[in-house]
A = this chain, B = another copy of it.
Amino acid sequence: MKTKLIMSVLLLIVSTVAYSNDKTAPMLVEKQHFTTKNFTTVSGVTLSQVDVGWESYGTLNKAKDNVVLITHYFSGTSHAAGKYKADDALAGYWDALIGPGKAIDTNKYFVISSDTLVNANWHDPNVITTGPASTNPATGKPYGLDFPVVTITDFVEVQKRLLDSLGINKLHAVIGASMGSFQALEWAVRYPEQVERLVHVIGAATMDAWTVSALEKWAMPIRLDKNWQQGNYYNKERPLAGLTATLLNITQDAMHPLIYNASFPHFEVLDDDALQDIRTLPKVNQVLEARALAKAKLQDANHVLYLVRASQLFTAGRSANLTDALKKVQAKTLLLPATNDLLLRPENVRKMHSIMDELGKEVTISEIAGGWGHLDGLFSITPKAQQISEFLAN
Hey, which bits of chain A sit against chain B, CB under 8 A? Answer: 42-43, 145, 147, 149, 151, 206-210, 212-214, 216-217, 220-221, 224-226, 230-231, 241-242, 245, 248-249, 252, 257, 260-261, 263-264, 267-271, 274-279, 281-282, 284-285, 288, 305-306, 309, 312-315, 318, 320, 342, 345, 347
Contacts and interface: CB of A to CB of B under 8 A. Distances in A.
A281 B149 CA distance: 12
A146 B372 CA distance: 40
A355 to B, nearest CB: 16
Given A208-B257, A224-B241, A145 B279 contact: yes
A224 B220 CA distance: 10
A309 B279 CA distance: 10
Contacts of A214: 252
Nearest to A279: B145
5 contacts: A213-B260, A217-B248, A221-B245, A224-B241, A270-B318
Contact of A261 (B210, B261, B306): B210
Contacts of A206: 269
A249 B212 CA distance: 13
A23 to B, nearest CB: 33
A82 to B, nearest CB: 33
Contacts of A313: 269-271, 274-275, 282
Contacts of A43: 275-276
A134 to B, nearest CB: 15
Q: How often does this chain occur in the complex, in copies?
A: 2
B312 A209 contact: no
A149 B280 CA distance: 10
Contacts of A209: 260-261, 263-264, 267, 284
A276 B44 CA distance: 8
Chain A binding site: helix, strand, loop or mixed by DSSP?
A: helix
Closest 8 CB pairs of A and B: A209-B264, A224-B224, A226-B226, A210-B257, A269-B315, A220-B245, A209-B267, A216-B285
Nearest to A289: B216
Contacts of A284: 209, 212-213
Given A43-B275, A149-B278, A345 B208 contact: no
Contact of A252 (B213, B230, B306, B347): B213
A313 B257 CA distance: 18
A344 to B, nearest CB: 11
Given A210-B260, A224-B245, A288-B213, A306 B320 contact: no
A318 B313 CA distance: 46
A143 B2 CA distance: 45
A212 to B, nearest CB: 5
B282 A305 contact: no
A275 B151 contact: yes
B245 A282 contact: no
Contacts of A226: 224, 226
B274 A309 contact: yes
Given A309-B278, A320-B268, A252 B217 contact: yes
A151 B269 CA distance: 12
A207 B269 contact: yes
Contacts of A242: 224
Contacts of A260: 209-210, 213
